[in-house]
Amino acid sequence: MKEETKKAVALRYEKDKDSAPKVVAKGRGWIAEKIIELARHHGVPLKEDETLVEVLSKLDLYEEIPVELYKAVAEILVFVYQIKGKIK
């Protein structure tokens, strides 16, 4: 059986701006590993969601997420804020 290639997508959301989260990094294989490594090194919370990564990886770099993904990405933002202790 062929092993699946790891994929990663990094999002940036600036809540003070009037825009949706944007894809700021994406890759597979060793690039995905590097994205994950850098995120861990800088204390960026990680959330695994293969389906969402698959969809987000089709977006261009610095492209805002489409309206159809707002709910899924909002759930990730809640997860991140909970980890950082900003909400309960």
CB atoms inside a 10 Å sphere around CB 22: 18
Residue/partner pairs of 10-16 with CB below 8 Å, 24 or more apart: 10/35, 10/39, 10/44, 11/56, 11/65, 11/73, 11/76, 13/73, 13/77
Q: Which domains does the chain have, with CATH numbers?
A: 7-83 (3.40.1690.10)
Q: Is a pLDDT exceeding 70 seen at residue 30?
A: yes
What was the pLDDT predicted at 61?
A: 97
Tell me, yes or no, if the pTM score tops 0.95: no
* Mean local confidence (pLDDT), 78-85: 81
Residues 6+ apart with CB under 8 A from 3: none
Cβ of 68: how many Cβ atoms within 10 Å? 8
Residue 23: other Cβ atoms inside 10 A = 19
pLDDT at 81 over 60: yes
